[in-house]
A and B are shown apart, each in its own frame.
Chain A
Amino acid sequence: MRWQRAFTWWGGYPAAVAVVAVATVLLLVARPFLQPAHVMLLYVPAIIGVARLSGVRASLIAAAAAFLALDLLFVRPYYTLSVALPADLLTLAVFLLVAAVAAMQAGRMGERERSSLRRQAELESLNGLSSRLVASESAVRIAETVVAEIVRLLGIQRAALYGIDGMQAKELAHAGTGGEGESEPVFADWVASHAKAIAPLAYAKGREEHFPASVDVTEPLSGASADGLYLPLQTGDGLEGVLYVRPGATTLGVDEVDALLAVSDLGAAFLERRRLSEEASRADATRESDRLKSTLISSVSHELKTPLAAATARVTGLVEVGDTRLDDHVREELVAVTEDLSRLDVSIRDLLDVSRLESDAWRPKSEDWPVGEVMGGVSARLTAEGRRRVRFAIPDGLPQVHADFAQLGRAVSNLVDNALGYSPDPSPVTVGAEARGPEVRVWVEDRGPGVPDEEKQAVFGKFVRGSASSASPGGTGLGLAITREIARSLGGRVWVEDAQPHGARFVLSLPSGGRS
């Protein structure tokens, strides 16, 4: 229907005049056989035709032209505006009225028809667009489809779609003949961080604070005054991208902006769907790798612990189960083996715990706990020597600590074992706690030689043993490393300071929960 374009070119006025001119030429040929009233009737269909194809205003022009032609060429005296017969004056007046009414009616009908055709085309194009978007596998493919459709639909110079990377806009795709504007990435960034549409009138370099205010983008946008239109692609969930369109010579009217908004909404919905499904599959992958890690660690744990459990049961069976007679030497040896086996158990447990913590396979289940309640478990695990030397000083009215019960207990037990090992028996080891701002600090203090400044960091490394050790601590060298990993896993910190008058004070600082 390319010929119809002629009727909308320059508002359809040239076409209107041309139609009247052609009709006039044909009627002039037949003038000898026609009365002015006939001529008048024959003009009406031409005016209605113009009205349908070009709109009301063009058809009013056509009506005026036809009126002039009628008066000049068909009403005597010819070639002058004056009229000889009073009846002809009436004819002319009636013609003017009929032509105007017909033009208005037909014009309105035509406009309604054109607009419904346009809506239908728009719907069809959205429909086609969404089926193409469904098939798009990546954000870039979705962006390419959207900008191509916009350029095809509106016949504009350039359309570009930007994705959001953090707070930055990043071009995913563009279409049309125009290149990237100088200020385009800057505006796109602005829209990405403000989530407001803009139609910049001008952009002065170095005057970033004078960004144009957001505009109501459903108003027609004059292509001449604006460099382009930036639309945030928004969904209920947030910003999915920024769409840029530069109309060039094309004027965007209400209908075009409506179509643009419809396409950009559709694009936003598909970009969101794409992002959500990517996030879901990433979460699946993380879960799977976590599952593999903990499966591996628990199978290693099973492999190591099974022979250990069998050996422990057998050896302790010989020592502890009454009726086997053993000579004293063998018994002593077996008791030593039992002790070695239990040290091996501690080593295996420490190694597995450090790998579970480092690989995040031991996720904390944090809750609010009174510090004292957790210390109950620490106290119950103490050896006879520990029970003699360790005392607890947990003040009343302390906020609860927000932590995983088992992890916190383990971390403090390690600090206590460390303190017992590095300070001479029978010097006391004190476990205390205090509130400090939003944190609860649990500390373990001994009366040993303390930790020299240059080792205050290094003591938390793996397999590190303090140089100042006079005693020979029986641990694996992993205790403090495990405590540090637990502090990290619980969102806290651990460090060592000097105690007064001498000794070491290990402080474990953790987020506090509610008041107990």
Chain B
Amino acid sequence: MNESSGAPERAPVVLVVDDEAQIRRALRSVLTAGHFEVVLAESGAQGLERAVDRTPDLVILDLSMPDMSGLDVARELLSWYTGPILVLSVRDADTDKIAALDLGADDYLTKPFSAGELLARVRALMRRSSGVKVAAREVVAGDLVVDLARRRVTVAGESVRLTRIEFDILATLAHDLDRVVTSRMLLERVWGPEYVADTQALRVHVSHLRRKIEPPGGVPYHILTEPGVGFRLVAH
């Protein structure tokens, strides 16, 4: 496998910033097999340089690197770069991961991950940022259907009445289906940037929303709590 194999038209460029050679090699072989052109960087500083040189279509960024924290790289990158950033972290409960999402990173993967999972995330992020601006009019998550255009929600075919705030929360989660949306992002998008600290209010509204769309029994099936981070609407 080498980098020239692939479609005749320009292959999307993925920049991988990771200090571990094993991970860089593995990601190169997986991404190349998935028809991406791969640019590697072994440090945060090098990553920033390569990003300027090549203007990648997507950046995969390891959060724990010796020279500068992945968070600093993300912060600097996001000051001019508008493409998607996928963050890699070792632990589920990684505060850096939450901070990176809050900064504007688009998604994260916890090591170890499978090649299929990685490619699915990368392709989903690319689709979202590819300029095809037609957002899904309808999001389906199991028996839950969120009609974003008509602002209507059905569970197992039954229409559910939501308040404006409940619908906005659900729509924000549906927009990032199966991805964690941080409390900060939810508050910012639903209430506005001046309310980002009011996580208690968010919890109350989410619990009302759950009462309307979740199955009885009190165990959430659609909206999962990601402790310390936010919420996730499960695709099913």
Q: Does A204 contact B (CB under 8 A)?
A: no
Inter-chain contact A379/B221, CB cutoff 8 Å? yes
Kindly supply a per-residue 1/0 record for chain B positions 205-231, scoring 1 wherever the CB is within 8 Å of any chain A CB and 0 otherwise.
001000000000111110111011000
Which A residues from 300 to 317 make CB contacts under 8 A with B?
301-302, 305-314, 316-317
Inter-chain contact B23/A306, CB cutoff 8 Å? yes
Q: Does B25 contact A (CB under 8 A)?
A: yes
Contact residues in A for B83 (Cβ distance below 8 Å): none
Inter-chain contact B119/A312, CB cutoff 8 Å? no
Given A314-B29, A314-B30, A392-B217, CB of A321 within 8 Å of CB of B115: yes
Q: Does B9 contact A (CB under 8 A)?
A: no
A contacts with B: majority SS: helix
By a beta-carbon cutoff of 8 Å, the part of chain A in contact with chain B is 298, 301-302, 305-314, 316-317, 319-321, 323-324, 338, 341-342, 345, 365, 370-377, 379-380, 392-394, 396, 404-406, 409
Question: What number of B residues sit within 8 Å (CB to CB) of A?
Answer: 36
Inter-chain contact B34/A321, CB cutoff 8 Å? yes
Inter-chain contact A313/B90, CB cutoff 8 Å? no
29 contacts between A and B (CB under 8 A): A302-B64, A306-B23, A307-B22, A308-B112, A309-B111, A309-B113, A310-B23, A312-B112, A313-B114, A314-B26, A316-B116, A317-B26, A317-B29, A317-B33, A317-B115, A320-B115, A321-B34, A321-B119, A323-B33, A338-B114, A371-B218, A374-B225, A376-B225, A377-B224, A380-B234, A396-B218, A406-B92, A406-B93, A409-B227
Q: Does B180 contact A (CB under 8 A)?
A: no
Q: Does B27 contact A (CB under 8 A)?
A: yes
Partner of B227 from A306, A311, A396, A406 at Cβ < 8 Å = A406
Inter-chain contact B221/A376, CB cutoff 8 Å? yes
Kindly supply a per-residue 1/0 record for chain B positions 3-33, scoring 1 wherever the CB is within 8 Å of any chain A CB and 0 otherwise.
0000000000000000010110111011001
Complex: chain A residue closest to B5, CB-CB: A323
The docked-state distance in angstroms from the alpha carbon of A155 to that of B179 is 80
Inter-chain contact A313/B218, CB cutoff 8 Å? no
Counting chain A CB atoms within 10 Å of each CB, which of B20, B92, B114, B117 scores highest? B114
Shortest distance between the CB of B137 and any CB in chain A (Å) = 27
Inter-chain contact A377/B23, CB cutoff 8 Å? no
Inter-chain contact B33/A321, CB cutoff 8 Å? yes
Complex: chain A residue closest to B94, CB-CB: A298
Which B residues from 108 to 142 make CB contacts under 8 A with A?
111-119
Shortest distance between the CB of B62 and any CB in chain A (Å) = 10
The docked-state distance in angstroms from the alpha carbon of A472 to that of B153 is 45
Shortest distance between the CB of B94 and any CB in chain A (Å) = 10
Given A310-B23, A312-B112, A321-B30, CB of A379 within 8 Å of CB of B90: no
The 9 closest A-B pairs by CB, nearest first: A372-B218, A405-B227, A376-B220, A320-B116, A317-B115, A316-B114, A310-B22, A309-B111, A312-B112
